[in-house]
Structure formats: structure tokens, C-alpha cells
Structure 1
Amino acid sequence: MAITVSIELNRELEIAGSYDEVFELLADVPRSASYFPKVHKLTDLGDNIYRWEMEKVGIDKHAIQTVYASQYFSDKEAGKITWEPVKGEGNGLVRGSWQLTAKGDKATALKFHTSAELTLPLPGLLKLAISPVIKHEFNGLVDTYMNNLKKAF
């Protein structure tokens, strides 16, 4: 049995770094991923596709791990970085985007959007109980990521 949990997140923040510096960091997936918490392994699959393997959560046979791959696209002129899911890689489909806007020479406004569908090997009866826990964990990871990015500049 398996359940699917859908998550959608939006964040807005301002980074005390120039547009070029912030874009460079976010467009460099391994560098950007180094600020994301609980990443067990990031694998370059070529063609700007990366497989994310998150740390396992839980205990022994009840531990779950999120694994997914996304292909990344960067358009500096448009101020946009997007990612699309790669099917057949892991148990998740994750897509999203960064929208960057220069705020003078030393600050950049960011809009972050992501959506994920995670398929987990759990009984259907647990969906109502586990979905809020997974969403809470995902929100916490993204909030930590945002704070880590702010500290990078």
C-alpha cells in the first residue's frame, strides 16, 4: 500500500546580495542545495538533472526517505529559475521556481514556489494522520533553507 501527499509552498524574501550574486548561487544547483537541510545525497544525472535523496525520517522499518529528480532551467534576463520533475526517479515529483527582482545594487527580492507529490509506502488509513506531519516537516525544511540563504550573504 502507498499514500500520496501533495504539498504546495510559496515564500517571499529579500536577500542582502546583488542580483548577479544571488542568481549565480541559486542557478548553481549543488551550491544552492548545500544550504538545504537534511539532504543525504545530491547526484548529478547530466543535462542539468539532479537526483535529491533526503535523510531518512522515522525508525527502522518505519523509516521513510524522499527521493526525486528534477531538471533545472535558468533564464538570467527573465530573472527566473525553474525545475520540472523527472518521472521514474524515486518516490516524488517536485516542480517549482524562483523569481528574482533586483532591489538596487545590494538587495534582491525573491519569490519561491514549489509543489511536490510524494508517494510513501504507508497504509491508506495513515494518510489523514501523516499528511499534516509531512507537510509540517517540508515547511520547516524550506523555512530553514530560506534562513540559510539569507545568512549566506
Structure 2
Amino acid sequence: VEKLTDLGGGVYQWEMEKVGTAQVNIQTIYASKYVSKYESAKGQGTVKWTPVKGIGNALVGGNWKIVDNKKSTNVTLAIQGEIEVPLPGLMKMVVAPVVEGEFEKLVEKYIDNLIKRFGGEA
């Protein structure tokens, strides 16, 4: 994350670091609204965020599901994302798999960092 901005009302704008080379790169910018303003839904063990249309070049939503297993905690992460790459059709066919791969690497890095910070296994 390069920059995180609180837009109010439980909505946050995420500006990710640019990926690619100096000549060819992409920066993902999106906003998501969090249920219960970043708090878990009481009694459900979930944190959910939904995409906010009209901000940035992506729509990203998802949720955390947290289960207390008494001796450990099970956390499940689900993310759905859609990014708009402003390129001609033919070039999109070539670039889309690269962008998708970079997004998956960022999610994996995010999970790895959480495991390093809190311990556990994936």
C-alpha cells in the first residue's frame, strides 16, 4: 500500500504501489466500504468490505471469516477484484494475464506478511 485515505463513512481509498517497469507500469487505486467501520459483525466473526464504484481503476471486495478453535484461530480470506486497464483490445489480451499474476503475488505477499507478524501457517 502506497497510500490509504479515510474518505469517511467507513469508506477507504487504497492506492497501491506501482508494479512493472519505469516505462510500463500500473497502479491500482480503489475504494472499499467496510461493514461496521472495520469492526467484525457482532457474533458472526466476519469483517466484510464491498467495492465503491467511481473511485480509481478497480473494484475490490472481500471478507475475513474468523473462527475460534480454542487452541488456535482459523482465518479465511476471500477477495474479489476487477481492474480496468486502459489499453486497446489486442494489447489487453497480452497484458491482462500479467496484471492478474501481479495481483495474485501482492495478495500472497500480504498473507505472508500476516503470517510473519502473527505466526501460524497458510
Using structure 2 for the length normalisation, give the TM-score.
0.85
Q: 1:138 aligns with which of 83, 103, 111?
A: 103
Q: Residue by residue, what CA displacement relative to the aligned partner does 1:1-54 show, whole Å, maximum 9, x if unpaired?
A: xxxxxxxxxxxxxxxxxxxxxxxxxxxxxxxxxxxxxx1101011111110001
Q: Any conservation in 1 of the 2:29–2:58 contact (CA below 8 Å)?
A: yes
Displacement of 1:89 in angstroms is: 0.6
Structure 1 segments of 4 or more deviating over 6 A?
A: none
5+ residue gaps, structure 2, are: none
User: Could you tell me which residue of structure 2 aligns to residue 75 of structure 1?
Assistant: 41
Displacement of 1:61 in angstroms is: 5.8
User: Could you tell me which residue of structure 1 aligns to residue 13 of structure 2?
Assistant: 51
Letter of the structure 1 residue corresponding to residue 44 of structure 2: A
5+ residue gaps, structure 1, are: 1-38
Letter of the structure 2 residue corresponding to residue 145 of structure 1: Y
> Which structure carries more relative contact order (alpha carbon 8 Å, separation 6+)?
1
Using structure 1 for the length normalisation, give the TM-score.
0.69
Question: What percent identity do the matched residue pairs reach?
Answer: 48
Tell me the C-alpha RMSD between the 2 structures: 1.5
User: Could you tell me which residue of structure 2 aligns to residue 15 of structure 1?
Assistant: none
Q: Aligned pairs, how many?
A: 114
Q: 1:84 aligns with which of 29, 50, 55?
A: 50
Displacement of 1:66 in angstroms is: 0.7
